[in-house]
Amino acid sequence: MSQQTFLSPMPGVIHSVECNQGDEVKKGKELVIIEAMKMETAICAPDQIRIESIAVEQGQIIQKGDLLFKYITIGEDNQNQTQAPATINKEKGQTSHLAELQNRQQWLLDENRTAAVEKRKARGHNTARENLQKLVDPTSFNEIGSLIVAAQLSRRTLKDLIEHTPADGLITGTCTINSESFTKNTECAVFIYDYSVLAGTQGTMNHMKMDRMLSIAHKNKLPVILFAEGGGGRPGDVDQQTIAGLHISTFTEFARLNGTVPVVSIVNGYCFAGNAALAGSSDIIIGTKSLSLGMGGPAMIEGGGLGKVHPKEVGPYEVHLENGVIDVLVENEDEAIVVCKRYLSYFQGPAHEINSHTQQSLRDIIPENRKRVYEMRALIATLCDKDSVLELREHYGKGIISCLVRIGGHAFGLIANNPSFEAGAITAENAIKAAEFLNLCNTHQLPIISLVDTPGIMVGVDSEKTGNVKHASRLFVTGAKLTVPLFGIVVRRAYGLGAMAMVGGSMRVPNLLLAWPTGEFGAMGLEGAVKLGFRKELEAIQDPIERETVYNNMVEQAYERGKALSMATMFEIDDVIDPAQTRHRIISAYQSTIKHET
Q: What are phi and psi of 503, to 5 degrees?
A: -120, 35
Q: How far is CA 120 from CA 74, 132, 269, 293, in A?
A: 70, 15, 11, 19
How many whole angstroms separate alpha carbon 331 and alpha carbon 76? 80
How many whole angstroms separate alpha carbon 17 and alpha carbon 10? 16
**Enclosing H/E stretch for 253:** helix 250-257
The pLDDT assigned to 148 comes to 93
**139-155: per-residue pLDDT in tens?**
999 999 999 999 898 89
Question: Nearest-CA neighbor of 290 among 267, 308, 274?
Answer: 267
Give yes or no on whether 97-345 and 359-519+563-597 have one common fold: yes
Per the CB < 8 A criterion, the answer to whether 173 and 141 are in contact is: yes
Per the CB < 8 A criterion, the answer to whether 235 and 275 are in contact is: no
The pLDDT assigned to 512 comes to 96
Half-sphere exposure of 455 (CA within 13 A, CB side): 19
Burial (CB < 10 A; 0-12, 13-18, 19+), residue 184, is exposed
Pick the CATH number of 97-345 from 3.90.226.10, 3.40.50.300, 3.40.50.2000, 3.20.190.10: 3.90.226.10
How many whole angstroms separate alpha carbon 415 and alpha carbon 448? 8
SS3 48: coil
The pLDDT assigned to 554 comes to 73
The pLDDT assigned to 244 comes to 74
Per the CB < 8 A criterion, the answer to whether 260 and 226 are in contact is: no
- 263-267 and 224-227 beta bridge pairing: parallel
Bridge partners for 172 per DSSP? 144, 191
The overall pTM is greater than 0.95: no
Bridge partners for 83 per DSSP? 5
- DSSP string of 392-413, one letter each residue: ESTTSSTTEEEEEEEETTEEEE
Residue 376's contacts (CB-CB under 8 Å, 6 or more residues apart) are 401, 416, 417, 418, 419, 420, 424, 451, 453
pLDDT per residue, tens digit, the chain (598 aa), is 678 899 999 999 999 999 999 899 988 899 999 999 889 999 999 889 999 999 999 999 999 999 999 999 985 544 444 444 545 666 666 678 888 888 889 999 999 999 999 999 999 999 999 999 999 999 999 999 999 999 898 899 999 999 999 999 999 999 999 998 887 889 999 999 999 999 999 988 999 999 999 999 999 999 999 999 999 888 887 877 777 777 888 999 999 998 899 999 999 999 999 999 999 999 999 999 999 999 988 888 878 888 888 989 898 999 999 999 999 999 999 999 999 999 999 999 998 888 999 999 999 999 999 889 999 999 999 999 999 999 999 999 999 999 999 999 999 999 999 999 999 999 999 999 999 999 999 999 999 999 999 999 988 888 888 999 999 999 999 999 999 999 999 999 999 999 999 999 999 999 999 999 999 998 766 666 666 667 777 777 878 887 777 777 777 777 778 789 988 988 999 999 999 999 999 999 999 887 655 4
- DSSP string of 59-111, one letter each residue: T-EE-TT-EEEEEEETTS--TT-SBPPP-EE-PPP-HHHHHHHHHHHGGGSGG
Question: Nearest-CA neighbor of 511 among 485, 491, 477, 482?
Answer: 485
SS3 120: helix
Distance in angstroms between the alpha carbons of the first and the last residue of the chain: 77
Domain spans, the chain: 4-89, 97-345, 359-519+563-597
Give, in degrees to the nearest 5, the angle at Cα 116 between 239 and 176: 85
SS3 542: coil
Q: Quick one: how far is CA 162 from the chain centroid?
A: 30
How many whole angstroms separate alpha carbon 567 and alpha carbon 520? 8
Q: What is the 3-state secondary structure (H, E, C) of 357-387?
A: CCHHHHHHCCCCCCCCCCCHHHHHHHHCCCC
Question: Nearest-CA neighbor of 516 among 468, 590, 581?
Answer: 581
The pLDDT assigned to 525 comes to 64
| Burial readout 463-490 (b: 16 or more C-beta within 10 A, e: otherwise) | beebebeebbebbbebbeebebbbbbbb
Q: What CATH architecture does domain 4-89 belong to? A: Beta Barrel (2.40)
Per the CB < 8 A criterion, the answer to whether 554 and 528 are in contact is: no
Give, in degrees to the nearest 5, the angle at Cα 51 between 49 and 54: 145
Q: Quick one: how far is CA 437 from the chain centroid?
A: 15
| Burial readout 271-304 (b: 16 or more C-beta within 10 A, e: otherwise) | bbbbbbbbbbbbbbbbbbebbbbbebbbebbeee
The pLDDT assigned to 397 comes to 95
What does the DSSP 8-state code read for residue 484?
S
How many whole angstroms separate alpha carbon 414 and alpha carbon 582? 14
**61-98: per-residue pLDDT in tens?**
999 999 999 999 985 544 444 444 545 666 666 678 88
Question: Nearest-CA neighbor of 521 among 564, 565, 552, 568?
Answer: 564
Half-sphere exposure of 593 (CA within 13 A, CB side): 18
The pLDDT assigned to 84 comes to 47
Q: How far is CA 574 from CA 41, 534, 568, 591, 598, in A?
A: 81, 31, 6, 18, 25
Question: Nearest-CA neighbor of 485 among 504, 462, 500?
Answer: 504
Q: Strands, E, within 108-151: which ranges?
A: 142-144
The pLDDT assigned to 80 comes to 40
Residue 506's contacts (CB-CB under 8 Å, 6 or more residues apart) are 500
Rounded (10°) CA dihedral 520, 521, 525, 528: -100
Which CATH number is 359-519+563-597 given? 3.90.226.10
